[in-house]
């Protein structure tokens, strides 16, 4: 396709691999969506949902409620797309630099490293990440309500069976991926050996900006925020095993590559544009 591809759903066979419940809304008019599943109901959109992509293509079939609105009606029987990041090396995760890190209220600055037991950010904590790779190993990356986290040139790597992303309501997250290095362009990277179809929960109304790729090749991105998430990013591409959007959930995706270095440097991101 000629348009930028900002959503790729990788599941090869499931029904509802992309599932948008009633009143769900995706605003991405300048880029395309692709659903790899060969299921007869690979893409399901319920009543009063609005899906605005320049193109929507499904390898299998789709079930669209008659009240759902599409800028471009989905095309069925498209050839599945390869995972363009399948050859990107995973970050080193040997050992531990930090253990069971819990940040309570106050201001905190963190350095890159391997966070064994994960990272939990508690209410009224404000956290800044220095540039680099943060490995959340065998534990949650969890932001409680009324927390804030920001970082430039950062990759969050979710390593191990227990490593999930959980963003509670009213947490604020702003990230930009690195512009160079082996994981250039990737803001959030899931372990390729993770359990299939574990949920990564995005319930916060404050996830406005993630510049780079959200890459969850094994997991389900479960969005329940009723305020448009990701819409303030210059560039976000979502590559997930499955995408589930709850009733009234909203997401916006942009492809303004000139406004961020996170997309322009990585050759892996270029593959998304073809």
User: Per the structure block, which two tokens stand in for 227?
Assistant: 């305020």
For residue 21, being part of any structural domain is answered with: no
For residue 174, being part of any structural domain is answered with: yes
How high is the pLDDT of residue 117?
99
For residue 244, being part of any structural domain is answered with: no
User: pTM of this prediction?
Assistant: 0.95
For residue 268, being part of any structural domain is answered with: no
For residue 55, being part of any structural domain is answered with: no
How high is the pLDDT of residue 1?
39
**8-state DSSP, 182:** T
CA distances for 218 relative to 53, 128, 192, 200, angstroms: 24, 28, 6, 10
pLDDT < 70 positions in the chain: 1-3, 261-274
State the residue range of the domain holding 109: 88-236
For residue 195, being part of any structural domain is answered with: yes
For residue 102, being part of any structural domain is answered with: yes
Cβ proximity of 135 and 93 under 8 Å: yes
Distance of CA 9 to the CA centre of its chain: 11
Express each pLDDT in 57-106 by its tens digit. 999 999 999 899 999 999 999 999 999 999 999 999 999 999 999 999 99
Number of domains, the chain: 1
For residue 110, being part of any structural domain is answered with: yes
- CA dist 112 and 18 (Å) reads 33
């Amino acid at each position: 396709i000629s348009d930028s591809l900002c959503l790729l759903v990788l599941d090869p066979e499931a029904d509802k691999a992309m599932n948008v419940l009633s009143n769900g809304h995706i605003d991405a008019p300048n880029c395309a969506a692709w659903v790899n599943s060969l299921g007869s109901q690979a893409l399901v959109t319920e009543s009063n949902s609005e899906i605005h992509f320049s193109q929507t293509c499904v390898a299998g079939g789709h079930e669209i409620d008659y009240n759902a609105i599409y800028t471009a009606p989905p095309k069925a029987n498209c050839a599945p797309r390869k995972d363009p990041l399948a050859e990107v090396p995973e970050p080193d995760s040997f050992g531990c630099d930090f253990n069971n890190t819990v940040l309570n209220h106050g201001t905190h600055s963190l350095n890159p490293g391997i966070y064994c037991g994960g990272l939990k950010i508690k209410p009224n904590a404000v956290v800044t990440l220095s540039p680099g790779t943060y490995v959340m190993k065998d534990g949650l990356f969890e932001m409680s309500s009324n927390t804030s986290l920001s970082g430039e040139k950062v990759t969050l790597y979710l390593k191990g069976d227990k490593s999930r992303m959980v963003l509670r309501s009213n947490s604020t997250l702003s990230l930009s991926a690195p512009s160079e290095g082996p994981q250039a362009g990737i803001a959030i990277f899931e372990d390729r050996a993770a359990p299939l179809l574990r949920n990564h929960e995005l319930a916060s109304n404050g996830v406005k900006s993630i510049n780079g790729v959200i890459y969850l090749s094994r997991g389900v991105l479960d969005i329940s925020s009723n305020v448009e998430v990701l819409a303030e990013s210059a560039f976000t591409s979502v590559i997930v095993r499955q995408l589930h959007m709850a009733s009234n959930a909203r997401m916006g995706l942009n492809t303004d590559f000139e406004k961020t270095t996170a997309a322009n440097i990585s050759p892996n991101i270029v593959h998304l544009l073809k």
